[in-house]
Amino acid sequence: MAFKSGFVALIGHPNVGKSTLLNSIIKEKIAIISPKAQTTRNVIRGIYTTDEAQIVFLDTPGIHKAQNELGSLMNKSARSSYKDVEAVLLISDVTLENPDNYDHLIDDLEDLECPLFLVLNKIDLLSKNELLELTAKWSERFKFAGIIPISALKEENLDVLIKALIEVMPEGPKYYPGDMITDNPESFIVSELIREKILSFTREEIPHSVAIVIEKMYETNKGLNIYATIVVERDSQKGIIIGKGGTMIRKIGTSARQEIERVFGVKTRLETFVRVEKDWRNSSHNLKEFGYRD
């Protein structure tokens, strides 16, 4: 049997479960997860390989109404990701969404030159009749190659999804070694794990105003050494990140270090610093410096 391979874009609104789905398929944590909107800022690649096929999944930022230059870059990144792939998965949260939520994407979706699958996520929270009714609404609105109900969190029906994707994949090469699960740099994964802890421990405007810069990262015979800078937009935000007597920055650092050790399987020393860059989300210079490029 010929080997099949290709790229698949995961698109949808923020917080519909794209990153959870990617992690569940790959069976490793390569994309951070948070209930905060716009958690995913960059395209994250997850590599799924079997004896018969290799699928490279592109987890994209949630498409939203941009409030700044960073938001515009995120939307552009998401839209560009599904222009040259073998299939697109439109992920929808069945507890929150219906076809009307996607009016702004109709033209893009209708112009696709590859199979478009609808993935209805969180079906464990819906009755069978409710799911059937919702599926009928979607079928009337869009022409899909298939509609696949899943629960990304509970890993329900993922085998059906993978099978459907392999069927539409063309014959092709193995783009990556079979044991490789992502080609995102280790420094990127570390920065995301630190940002995830900030998302978990802070509220209001802080999560959206934070960027992480890995200044140095190297391994010795004692383990992994990481020096990271947490960038915020205002002095008041710096105070919140540091916390009274340094309690918050220690909490973030300890939790991030433990997660890094779990993901990489190596003892880690993490040092964090905080710096202020006024309105960095609207600065093209800062966006490039922090890894957000057009």
Verify that 134 and 215 share a domain, yes or no.
no
Verify that 164 and 192 share a domain, yes or no.
no
The mean predicted confidence, pLDDT, of the chain is 88
pLDDT band at residue 115 using 50, 70 and 90 as cut-offs: very high
In a domain, 175, yes or no: no
Report the CATH number at residue 40: 3.40.50.300
Going across the sheet that includes 223-232, the strands are 211-220, 223-232, 268-276
pLDDT band at residue 131 using 50, 70 and 90 as cut-offs: very high
To which residue do tokens 């990489």 refer? 264
Percent of the chain scoring above 90 in pLDDT: 59
Distance CA 79, CA 30 (A): 21
The single-letter DSSP state of residue 64 is -
> Residue 145's domain spans which residues?
4-168
To which residue do tokens 């994250």 refer? 44
Q: Is the pLDDT of residue 44 over 90?
A: no
In a domain, 130, yes or no: yes
Task: Count CB-CB contacts under 10 A for residue 141.
Answer: 16
Report the CATH number at residue 249: 3.30.300.20
Verify that 12 and 149 share a domain, yes or no.
yes
Given 140, 168, 196, the domain boundary residue is 168
Say if CB 53 and CB 166 are below 8 A apart: yes
Verify that 28 and 92 share a domain, yes or no.
yes
Range with lowest mean pLDDT among 12-16, 124-128, 274-278: 12-16
Q: Is the pLDDT of residue 97 over 90?
A: no
Verify that 160 and 219 share a domain, yes or no.
no
In a domain, 34, yes or no: yes
Number of domains in the chain: 2
Residue 265 backbone class (left: φ over 0; alpha: ψ -120 to 50; beta: rest): left
Say if CB 21 and CB 91 are below 8 A apart: yes
Range with lowest mean pLDDT among 52-66, 141-155, 186-200: 52-66
Verify that 71 and 209 share a domain, yes or no.
no
Mean pLDDT across 157-180: 95
| Residue pLDDT, tens place only, 175-184 | 999 999 998 8
Q: Give exposure, 68-92, as e/b (b: 16+ Cβ within 10 Å).
A: ebbbebbbebbbebbeebbbbbbbb
Distance CA 174, CA 5 (A): 7
In a domain, 277, yes or no: yes
Verify that 24 and 127 share a domain, yes or no.
yes
Going across the sheet that includes 53-59, the strands are 44-49, 53-59, 4-11, 87-93, 116-121, 146-149
Verify that 31 and 144 share a domain, yes or no.
yes
